[in-house]
Structure formats: structure tokens, C-alpha cells
């Protein structure tokens, strides 16, 4: 113990015997209440700021990021429609080549693991959307090319 602590412990009775000046309890309580109000106001401000930041993040994702699942659904529907067109053409005009056409379509469309599941989490939604759009556009172009080749032989 240092000297001040030792002195206080040894002379504790003298400290306890004196009464506090009048009004000191009220001043202490008023200061404690003021400090409590400032702390509550700070907590309230920080809470509102955190809530506002969370709302801004959610709104940004909802309104300014492309909706990836909707885009994927659109791309898959587009490919399925083109595949259906090709199969109708194959049934009518090229029944002898139907198996070859079907195998070619499978080679273009079938994926062991879809690309959207292979993309790293670190890239932004915008980058994912651009990569997937380019990827599915190439698949669509390949289907169109297949259809064009068979139509040109008619």
C-alpha cells in the first residue's frame, strides 16, 4: 500500500465522523442524473445511427443491385424456349438427325455444377450478374448457331 492509502485506512474514523456539507447529496444526485441522461441520449443516437445504416444497406441491396435469381430464371427460360424451338424443328424437318441434335443441345446446356454455384462469395452481385449474363448469352448463341446450321440445310 502506498502512504495515502495507509493513512486513510489508519484514520478512517476521522473521515467517517465528519458530515458532508449541506446540499452535497443533492448536487451529487443531480450530477449523476445528468450523466445518466447524457449516456442515454448517446445510446439512443448510436442506436438510431446503426438502424439507419442497416436500413440503407438493405435498401441498396434491394433497389440498386440486380436481382440475381430473377435474372437466372429469365436466362434459363430463354434457353429452354430456344431448345424447344430446335426440338420442334428437328422433329419436323430432321428426324434422322434428332439424336445428334439432342446430344448437341445436352453438350451446350448440361452442367455438372451450375456456374452460379461456382462463383466465389467475394465478388459483388453486379459482377456475378455480368458473368452469368455473358455465360448464358454464349449458351444461347450456341443454340442459335445450331438452329441456323440446320435451317440453312433446308
- Please write the tens of the pLDDT for every residue from 65-97: 457 888 888 898 999 999 989 888 888 888 898
Three cell numbers at 45? 443516437
Nearest C-alpha neighbor of 114 from the set 62, 64, 143, 79: 79
Whether the full predicted model's pTM is greater than 0.85, yes or no, is no
- Please write the tens of the pLDDT for every residue from 84-130: 898 888 888 888 988 898 889 999 988 888 888 899 989 988 898 89
Asked if residue 132 lies in contact with residue 68, where contact means CB atoms within 8 angstroms, the answer is: yes
If pLDDT is split at 50, 70 and 90, which confidence band does 51 have? low
Per-residue model confidence (pLDDT) at position 61 = 47
Per-residue model confidence (pLDDT) at position 133 = 92
Phi, psi of 120 (to 5 degrees): -70, 150
Amino acid at each position: 500500500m502506498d502512504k495515502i492509502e495507509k493513512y486513510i485506512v489508519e484514520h478512517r474514523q476521522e473521515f467517517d465522523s465528519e458530515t458532508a456539507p449541506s446540499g452535497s447529496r443533492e448536487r451529487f444526485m443531480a450530477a449523476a442524473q445528468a450523466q445518466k441522461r447524457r449516456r442515454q441520449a448517446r445510446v439512443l443516437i448510436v442506436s438510431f445511427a446503426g438502424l439507419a445504416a442497416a436500413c440503407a444497406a438493405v435498401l441498396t441491396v434491394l433497389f440498386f443491385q440486380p436481382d440475381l435469381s430473377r435474372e437466372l430464371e429469365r436466362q434459363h427460360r430463354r434457353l429452354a424456349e430456344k431448345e424447344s424451338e430446335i426440338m420442334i424443328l428437328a422433329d419436323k424437318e430432321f428426324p434422322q438427325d434428332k439424336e445428334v441434335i439432342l446430344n448437341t443441345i445436352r453438350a451446350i446446356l448440361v452442367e455438372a455444377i451450375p456456374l452460379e454455384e461456382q462463383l466465389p462469395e467475394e465478388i459483388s452481385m453486379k459482377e456475378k450478374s455480368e458473368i452469368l449474363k455473358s455465360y448464358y448469352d454464349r449458351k444461347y448463341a450456341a443454340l442459335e448457331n445450331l438452329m441456323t446450321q440446320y435451317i440453312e440445310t433446308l
